[in-house]
């Protein structure tokens, strides 16, 4: 950073501009916008400066610059375009301790005037540190396009309600959230669209509700496989805004740490064979919380729509008339494959991949047609397969895959990740030999043999 960026208050303070031409007039315009009391020193001046002086809006001293002109000045500009005079202004200002800018002369300046994007009272300043002013102008143009023309109106609208909001939402974090939602939500959109009157009514109601939505919403969010930096930016933003987080067992602590500290957390985690909160009850919790007007994040391991029962929750919410949206997450198959260096499809090895559950249905009949899968030649990514490893190995071996490579990835992407490899016929022994008890994904197919050596544990003799 070549300069220290600050916004300097010049409201009602004297600023000196040496020079009477167009360059000086440009600085004068900016300074007047910021409320400065400007004195121009120049033997001759253009029409704009003369008119302003006549109207009493600026002081014009129609003579050469003198050191004494700097007396009491908060800032000084050298804008004469005459090297000797600008240098004199710079040296005198530095002697007097007045910050000085000489137009296009960084060597004579203490500060620069950046490219400015104005949505008063919002101001964005862009500088290239003098290295490439044209590039700074390009950046300014890009930002101009990004910022809504009525952004300033929105800032002033918010300012009108600051006192009232502070009174009803005294706690700092809650207030931050209140404003986050406001700027992100429909009232701000109304102000930007030019309907300030309608927005005032909505805002009064919103303030009276202390920032609660009139109608709540449930975001069914994929938390990924465990590593906190594998959640999406959208998931992270929603976690920061949520009032309530209803989460599963497989959601990593690091991911939960992304949530607001004061958000309510409801753990509805299911361990295998243990169902502390039945699915119907989870649906009821989501509906009830949303009906209280809250922003609910239903946080699920991996992707909500891959063996996540996200579909059932979405259906229940729709039936109850509750607004709901789904945010995808990185599913265990892709995450574990990446962590183990196993491409799920690979030229010459596998042209398809099937996500399949190894969990048996409630009856005796397997829910999966293993014979068809064995014939398909696709890579199989088996979720929840550890408990049924023996049965899966038996089924697939019976259908010709006994020698097919297999990789088991336990706690994929987490610090305690383990990758073990072998052949289908030894799958059960492999799982037992390594005591695989954490969540694990089983990859079956030629590609499993490509597991990265540095991610893989050497197979135990008993398991091969």
Interacting residues toward ligand SAM by CB under 6 A: 225-226, 250, 300-303, 306-308, 331-332, 336, 383-384, 409, 411-414, 439-441
Those residues whose C-beta lies under 8 Å from the C-beta of residue 356, and which sit 6 or more positions away, are 368, 373, 380, 381, 382, 383
The yes-or-no answer on residue 294 being catalytic is: no
| Contact yes or no for 460/436 (Cβ under 8 A) | no
Closest distance between ligand SAM and the C-beta of residue 298, in Å?
Answer: 12
Cis peptide upstream of residue 463 (ω within 30 degrees of 0)? no
Those residues whose C-beta lies under 8 Å from the C-beta of residue 439, and which sit 6 or more positions away, are 250, 301, 332, 410, 411, 412
Q: Exposure of 440 by Cβ count < 10 A (0-12 exposed, 13-18 middle, 19+ buried)?
A: buried
Q: Which is nearer to ligand SAM, 20 or 222 (CB)?
A: 222
Q: Where are the alpha helices (DSSP H) in 10-121?
A: 22-33, 47-54, 83-96
Q: Which is nearer to ligand SAM, 211 or 226 (CB)?
A: 226
Rounded Cα distance between 313 and 316, Å, is 5
Q: Which is nearer to ligand SAM, 163 or 273 (CB)?
A: 273
CB atoms within 10 A of CB 215: 11
Q: Where are the alpha helices (DSSP H) in 397-452?
A: 427-433
Q: Which residue is nearest to ligand SAM (CB)?
A: 302
Q: Which is nearer to ligand SAM, 60 or 383 (CB)?
A: 383
Terminal C-alpha separation, the chain: 60
110, 270, 360, 446: which one is catalytic?
270
Q: Which is nearer to ligand SAM, 78 or 308 (CB)?
A: 308
86, 243, 248, 303: which one is catalytic?
248
The yes-or-no answer on residue 253 being catalytic is: no
Bridge partners (DSSP) listed for residue 406 = 422, 444
330 closest CA partner among 234, 244, 213 = 234
Closest distance between ligand SAM and the C-beta of residue 240, in Å?
Answer: 22
Catalytic residues: 248, 270
């Amino acid at each position: 950073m070549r300069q220290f960026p600050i916004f300097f208050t010049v409201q009602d303070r004297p600023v000196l501009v040496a020079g009477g031409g167009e360059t000086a007039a440009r600085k004068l315009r900016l300074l007047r916008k910021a409320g400065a009391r400007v004195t121009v020193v120049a033997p001759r001046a253009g029409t704009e400066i003369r008119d302003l002086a006549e109207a009493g809006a600026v002081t014009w001293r129609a003579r050469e610059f003198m050191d004494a002109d700097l007396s009491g000045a908060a800032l000084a500009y050298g804008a004469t375009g005459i090297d000797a005079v600008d240098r004199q202004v710079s040296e005198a200002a530095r002697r007097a301790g007045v910050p000085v800018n000489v137009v296009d002369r960084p060597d004579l300046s203490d500060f620069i005037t950046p490219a400015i994007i104005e949505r008063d009272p919002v101001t964005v300043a862009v500088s290239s540190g003098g290295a490439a002013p044209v590039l700074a102008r390009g950046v300014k143009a890009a930002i101009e396009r990004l910022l809504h023309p009525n952004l300033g109106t929105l800032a002033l609208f918010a300012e009108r309600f600051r006192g009232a909001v502070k009174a009803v939402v005294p706690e700092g974090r809650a207030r931050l959230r209140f404003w986050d939602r406001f700027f992100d939500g429909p009232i701000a959109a109304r102000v930007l669209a030019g309907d300030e009157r309608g927005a005032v009514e909505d805002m009064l109601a919103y303030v009276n509700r202390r920032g609660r939505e009139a109608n709540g919403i449930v975001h069914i969010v994929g938390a990924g496989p465990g590593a906190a930096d594998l959640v999406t930016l959208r998931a992270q933003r929603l976690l920061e805004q949520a009032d309530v987080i209803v989460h599963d067992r497989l959601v990593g602590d690091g991911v939960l740490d992304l949530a607001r500290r004061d958000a309510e957390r409801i753990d509805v985690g299911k361990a295998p064979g243990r169902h502390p909160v039945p699915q119907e009850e989870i649906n009821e919790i989501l509906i009830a919380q949303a009906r209280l007007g809250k922003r609910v994040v239903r946080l699920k391991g991996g992707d909500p729509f891959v063996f996540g029962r996200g579909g059932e929750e979405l259906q229940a919410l729709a039936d109850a008339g509750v607004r709901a949206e789904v945010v995808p997450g990185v599913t265990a198959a892709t995450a574990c494959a990446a962590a183990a260096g196993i491409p799920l499809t690979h030229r010459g090895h596998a042209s398809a991949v099937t996500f399949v559950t190894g969990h048996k249905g409630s009856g005796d009949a397997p829910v999966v047609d293993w014979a068809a899968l064995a014939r398909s030649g696709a890579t199989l990514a088996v979720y929840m397969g550890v408990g049924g490893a023996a049965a899966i190995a038996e089924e697939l071996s019976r259908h010709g895959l006994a020698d097919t490579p297999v990789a088991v990835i336990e706690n994929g992407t987490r610090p305690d990740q383990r990758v073990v490899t072998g052949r289908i016929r030894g799958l059960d022994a492999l799982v037992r030999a390594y005591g695989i008890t954490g969540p694990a994904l089983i990859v079956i197919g030629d590609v499993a043999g490509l597991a990265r050596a540095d991610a893989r544990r050497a197979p135990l003799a008993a398991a091969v």
